[in-house]
A and B are shown apart, each in its own frame.
Chain A
Amino acid sequence: MKDTEGYVTADGRQIGGVLMEMKDITLRFGGVVAISEISFDIREGEIRAIIGPNGAGKSSMLNVISGFYTPSEGEVWYKGARRPPMKPYEVARLGVARTFQNIALFEGMTVLDNVMTGRLTHMNAGIAAQAVWWGKARDEEMANRQKVEEVIDFLEIQSIRKTPVGRLPYGLKKRVELARALAAEPSILLLDEPMAGMNVEEKEDMSRFILDVNDEFGTTIALIEHDMGVVMDLSDRVVVMDYGKKIGDGTPDEVRNNQQVIDAYLGVAH
């Protein structure tokens, strides 16, 4: 059952039907309930943010989406079908790519090689063919390199193409991570705090790239972010979590005026 009805955003973009849907997700670690009965959907072409105070369960939610955690209860529906429990690499093959809060790149490898790893899900030449770099392996690498070069051009990291990632400043590493995720040509891109620890200029650059990715490739984006200004500017719809529960869901304006959300952020007397 696929909901094909979309909506039109404030800036006039057409958002499509439901791409992924969380149905009553609960996640427990022993006695601790990290996520409790959360439902929401992510629609094709939209930028969907998950926000909430520290410890609200945002990263756990993202890990459920990426398949790293299997929910204790509830279902994940993806492209109109229920997704059975899977390994993260299997989820990746289905077109879900992500970046990490604490940058997970191969420090000793160049930017180019790191981004190339994003294409792994698109390569299937055997190890022997790869070793001698002949026939299919070579054609495949050339086709994939072209794709990678397009991403490098798009994210304007040509000047560091051959630089080992370990030598790069933090802001650029974040951009390389985004490049690797983009190289996978995902249907849905998960960004775990893409602006964490950045200065204003780096945040502006990153916001620009996120918007451009969405605009140019129509990629659906789900992101977690702490910087409220950024979230409200970037996203089309926002899910607000607090203590593992969903306390708000809607456009940035709706969420901003939601009393529960204000209480969660500013605190109330208990």
Chain B
Amino acid sequence: MAISPQGAAGLHSIPALLERNANLYGDRPAYREKDYGIWQSWTWSEAAGEIEALALGLLTLGVAPGDHIAIIGRNRPYLYWSFVAAQMVGAVPVPLYSDAVAEEMQYVLSHCGARFVIAADQEQCDKVIEVQEHLSHFEQMIYVDPRGLRKYDHTHLHEFSQVQAQGRTAQFELIDELTRRREALGYDDVCVMLYTSGTTGKPKGVVLSNRNIIETAKASSEFDDLRTTDSVLAYLPMAWVGDFIFSIGQAYWTGFCVNCPEATGTMYENLHEIGPTYFFAPPRYFEERITALLIRMEDAGTFKRWLFKTFMEIARRTGPKLLDGEAVSLGDRLLYALGEPLVYGPVRNRSGMSRVRVAYTAGEAIGPEIFDFWRSLGINLKQLYGQTEASVFITQQPDGEVRADTVGVPSPGVEIKIADSGEVYYRSPGTFVEYYNNPESTADTKDADGWVATGDAGFIEEDSGHLRIIDRAKDVGKMADGSLFAPKYVENKLKFYPNILEAVVFGADQPRCTAFINIDLTAVGNWAERNNIAYASYQELAGHPLVLEMIQSHVEETNASVAQDEMLSGCQIHRFLVLHKELDADDGELTRTRKVRRKLIGEKFVDLVTALFDGSQSVYTETEVTYEDGRKGKITATLSIRDAAVVPVGQRMAAE
């Protein structure tokens, strides 16, 4: 492969980009974090100093090139520095999901053979200590926040600031070694290793090279014209590839500022204070914000409610068109301009979106109403489609070509083809090197020519050239009568109702489709409050007859909408039940990125699935649950099963 100009110019690693940024943008902010109620900031040159001190400290601890260093914790500048310091000494940073339980960490830590761990606090240290005897390679741990850790045995434990101090002291002896290692970093050396959340089976370690990350960061930054003056809020899990690309890849390529929230619970407030210009959030986030906003509007006075409703109606009509530069009548333009100071501006401001130039969502399908809501406020919300193996970007929507039902055109440098089976394949400079220690899986996913199977079924729209995703390729199946079964397609339609948090549709090789529904406690709880429905627990609310009736109406509306699609009209839900517990990643029912683990749910709740298909009206069940501290408990419930009206396919045909 030809070496790109960046590679030739010496910018072939993240530490090299850091050096450039410290020279070019030395006085511009690189990191901010709210601490003790005040935003603290570090310029690029200060950050470079901190990172170098840490890298020298790592040398004093004996980190060798090629070692794996696990990084665990919520988004904090110290941990971002840890990535770059690890790279600087030739080691491979491996971020872990901080909400993972000890056993999950054990798997990843022993799979990558991490010799060193950098953990945020006592909670994370405790988890590693709990499983350390099962880790053959583990040697030393560094922690950032000393609280509660003072009295721990410090033979293998070091405080972050101490390691830095040690590094500064040893600067004279070790700086040559550090420089040598930093300069030895090649464009095709490993940049980072990220574990996929794994909707099926054990997580796999995706190895991404400097070339993957830097080429992707460059192309995507240019695509959206990202600038040094931009800023992002880093709040998504550090172990997720998106955060790595946004908060390290793109941030180092363009030199923009990464802001870290004060605590997990302060994200909304910090978002409002920072007002990022570039923003990413999963569809769920955009949905939750609307739900919260609408709930607050319910409590507002009559005039304010009228104002909000009227102007949001105008925005729905006008906003997206204005954003796409389409023709809008003068009257509508004037009304929209009037709504700006009255409604749109304040709503954007409260949501922390006042300064957003580019916002992305991805990971799941987004409801068209939700998508249009934000766009109608004048926020340039777009969709992208990607995965860890592609260093995120496969397709994305260019400005002016944004729609709710597609995921956009191939990102710069990405080639796409659709196999006969309908599965989407891609090839790009961001395509991963390999799965760590797993040549079989690598060979299964990536062929000799570099084409990677996404595992998603989709097609390219002929007139627009946009990609549309239907479902997970392996989930798409056949029903007993041979018609197409695409569960996710139906689930997404169900999930667009604010009252439904999660849905799982069953029906492969069955004559009819059925579904599990999870209610959204915020939305349904608020509805219950307004309707004077008393409930003591999630379980009680989920089993309330009026709630079941409401969900039934949603299911029936969904059926009517599914029936419109000739290919998928067989997927209408005939029977459903509302689950007595929220599907949870701690119980293994969802991945850490909150995707449904269909197969596992089907096995775990096999009694419920059987009841859905055998025609019984109610079913008694016992379910094991995991509490936050890892203890297990059991809940029991009797769930009623409801029949939903379906649109007979023949009748629809006749009506046409």
Q: Are A and B co-members of a single complex? A: yes
A12, A159, A216: the one contacting B269 at CB < 8 Å is A159
Identify the stretch in A40-48, A55-63, A145-153, A236-244 within 8 Å (CB) of chain B at 4 or more residues. A145-153
Closest B residue to A11 using CB positions = B151
Identify the stretch in B51-59, B216-224, B259-267, B384-392 within 8 Å (CB) of chain A at 4 or more residues. B259-267
A201 to B269, CA, bound (A): 25
Closest B residue to A156 using CB positions = B263
Chain A residues within 8 Å of B265, by CB? 158-160
B148, B262, B629: the one contacting A158 at CB < 8 Å is B262
CB distance from B350 to the nearest CB of A (A): 14
Chain A residues within 8 Å of B264, by CB? 159
* CB–CB B628/A201 < 8 A: yes
A161 to B273, CA, bound (A): 14
CB 8 Å contact bits of A189-228 with B (1 = contact, 0 = none): 0000000000001001000000010011000000000000
- Which of B26-46 touch A at CB < 8 Å? 34-38
Chain A residues within 8 Å of B34, by CB? 158
* Interface membership of B147, Cβ < 8 A: yes
A159 to B37, CA, bound (A): 10
Chain A residues within 8 Å of B262, by CB? 158
- Which of B607-632 touch A at CB < 8 Å? 628-629
Q: How many residues of A contact B (CB 8 A)?
A: 19
Chain B residues within 8 Å of A212, by CB? 147-148
A149 to B262, CA, bound (A): 12
A152 to B38, CA, bound (A): 12
Closest A residue to B37 using CB positions = A149
A150 to B262, CA, bound (A): 13
A204 to B628, CA, bound (A): 11
* CB–CB A158/B151 < 8 A: no
Given A156-B263, A158-B266: A150 touches B36 (CB 8 Å cut-off): yes
* Interface membership of B474, Cβ < 8 A: no
Closest B residue to A12 using CB positions = B151
Chain B residues within 8 Å of A215, by CB? 148, 150-151
CB distance from A203 to the nearest CB of B (A): 12
Chain A residues within 8 Å of B148, by CB? 212, 215-216
A158, A162, A201, A216: the one contacting B263 at CB < 8 Å is A158
CB distance from B451 to the nearest CB of A (A): 46
CB 8 Å contact bits of A1-27 with B (1 = contact, 0 = none): 000000000001000000000000000
Classify the interface of chain A: helix, strand, loop or mixed: helix
A162 to B37, CA, bound (A): 11
B37, B150, B151, B629: the one contacting A152 at CB < 8 Å is B37
CB distance from B546 to the nearest CB of A (A): 26
A215 to B147, CA, bound (A): 9
CB distance from A101 to the nearest CB of B (A): 25
* CB–CB A149/B628 < 8 A: no
Closest B residue to A147 using CB positions = B36
* CB–CB A216/B147 < 8 A: yes
B147, B151, B266, B629: the one contacting A159 at CB < 8 Å is B266
Chain B residues within 8 Å of A159, by CB? 263-266, 269
A152 to B37, CA, bound (A): 9
Chain A residues within 8 Å of B38, by CB? 149
Closest B residue to A13 using CB positions = B151
- Which of B70-103 touch A at CB < 8 Å? none
Chain A residues within 8 Å of B266, by CB? 158-159
Given A161-B37, A212-B148, A216-B147: A204 touches B263 (CB 8 Å cut-off): no
Chain B residues within 8 Å of A162, by CB? 269
CB 8 Å contact bits of A129-147 with B (1 = contact, 0 = none): 0000000000000000110
* CB–CB B147/A146 < 8 A: no
Chain B residues within 8 Å of A158, by CB? 34, 37, 262-263, 265-266
A149 to B263, CA, bound (A): 13
A43 to B148, CA, bound (A): 22
* CB–CB B629/A204 < 8 A: yes
Chain A residues within 8 Å of B147, by CB? 154, 212, 216
* CB–CB B629/A146 < 8 A: no
CB distance from A128 to the nearest CB of B (A): 27
A134 to B262, CA, bound (A): 29
- Which of A58-109 touch B at CB < 8 Å? none
CB distance from B269 to the nearest CB of A (A): 7
Chain A residues within 8 Å of B629, by CB? 204
A262 to B264, CA, bound (A): 45
Chain B residues within 8 Å of A146, by CB? 36
CB distance from B527 to the nearest CB of A (A): 20
Closest B residue to A204 using CB positions = B629
CB 8 Å contact bits of B8-39 with A (1 = contact, 0 = none): 00000000000000000000000000111110
A149 to B37, CA, bound (A): 6
Given A212-B147, A215-B148, A215-B151: A153 touches B35 (CB 8 Å cut-off): yes
A149 to B35, CA, bound (A): 9
Closest A residue to B628 using CB positions = A201
Closest A residue to B263 using CB positions = A158
Chain A residues within 8 Å of B36, by CB? 146, 149-150, 152-153
A88 to B263, CA, bound (A): 36
A148 to B37, CA, bound (A): 10
A212 to B123, CA, bound (A): 13
A215 to B262, CA, bound (A): 24
Closest B residue to A216 using CB positions = B147
Closest B residue to A146 using CB positions = B36
Chain B residues within 8 Å of A154, by CB? 147
A253 to B207, CA, bound (A): 54
CB distance from B633 to the nearest CB of A (A): 11
A201 to B36, CA, bound (A): 26
Chain B residues within 8 Å of A152, by CB? 36-37
Chain B residues within 8 Å of A12, by CB? 151
Chain A residues within 8 Å of B269, by CB? 159, 162
CB 8 Å contact bits of A155-167 with B (1 = contact, 0 = none): 0101111100000
A212 to B266, CA, bound (A): 22
CB distance from A1 to the nearest CB of B (A): 32
CB distance from A143 to the nearest CB of B (A): 13
Q: List 6 A-B contacts (CB under 8 A).
A: A145-B37, A152-B37, A154-B147, A158-B263, A159-B266, A160-B265
Q: A149-B37, A150-B36, A158-B265 are in contact. List 9 more A-B contacts (CB 8 A).
A: A153-B35, A158-B37, A158-B266, A159-B269, A201-B628, A212-B148, A215-B150, A216-B147, A216-B150
Q: Which 8 A-B pairs have the closest CB atoms?
A: A159-B265, A149-B36, A158-B263, A149-B37, A159-B266, A158-B262, A158-B266, A212-B148
